[in-house]
Amino acid sequence: MTFKTEQEAFWAGDFGTEYIQRNQGDALLASNLDFFGKALRQARGIKSCIEFGANIGMNLKALKLLHPGIDAHAIEINAEAARQLGEVILPSNVHHSSILDFAAERQWDLALIKGVLIHINPEVLPQVYDKLVASTGRYLVVAEYYNPAPVAIPYRGHSDRLFKRDFAGEIMDRHPQMQLVDYGFAYRRDPNFPQDDITWFLMEKR
């Protein structure tokens, strides 16, 4: 696999593999159930989904419990994560590739990206936005660190690996057919279901 940006190689390599160990378990699954229960409360008729940057499928595990029988697909750049992801959803529905190399051949009721846009090179974000919208049949959930203006911050000792901005706002500006339905915030100090200070946005294609 060849990469267009340093960030892709970073997540496809050892750092991305180590990330797996830090992001799994029953507590995270419980938090994700609470998270998606809130983020999708205004959504209707979700029977298929695709997650961009799914890692080992902790978000998809929650979605499968909330929407039994959902036709789940995913894109994942890290080989080990993609292998484990194939134990959560059908291996044939796992696209082991960079998001930048993915080309949607269909649309899904729900397209999802959570904690991934923050790690993508800002120069290629417009391409990723286009791929998200192209994959969206009806709903798009974007759940990321929010900042009103673009900013880069250090990430676990690395520079140019974590970026904050108004991702959802940029998507809606670039694709006016995407309309805001709902939004909210998940706090890392929530006593019951902590997340990672994520602001989420539910958009609908109209």
- How much is the pLDDT for 8? 75
Give the range of the structural domain holding residue 72, as residue numbers without chain letter. Answer: 6-205
Number of domains in the chain: 1
Q: Does the residue 36 lie in any domain?
A: yes
Q: Does the residue 67 lie in any domain?
A: yes
Q: Which segment of 3-12, 59-68, 85-94, 136-145 scores lowest on mean pLDDT?
A: 3-12
* Cα gap 36→198, rounded to integer Å: 12
- How much is the pLDDT for 4? 77
Q: What is the pLDDT of residues 165-200, one digit of tens each?
A: 999 999 999 999 999 999 999 999 999 999 999 999
Q: Which tokens go with 96?
A: 């082991």
CATH number for the domain spanning 18: value is 3.40.50.150
| pLDDT at 67 > cutoff 90 | yes
* Sheet containing strand 71-76, strands side by side: 94-96, 71-76, 48-52, 108-114, 136-144, 198-205, 178-186
Average pLDDT over residues 102-129: 96
Confidence at 20, pLDDT banded by 50, 70, 90: low
* Cα gap 19→67, rounded to integer Å: 27
Q: Does the residue 175 lie in any domain?
A: yes
Question: Rounded mean pLDDT of the chain?
Answer: 92
Q: Does the residue 123 lie in any domain?
A: yes
**Is residue 33 a contact partner of residue 94, using CB atoms and an 8 Å limit?**
no
- How much is the pLDDT for 18? 72
pTM: 0.91
Q: Does the residue 1 lie in any domain?
A: no
Confidence at 129, pLDDT banded by 50, 70, 90: very high
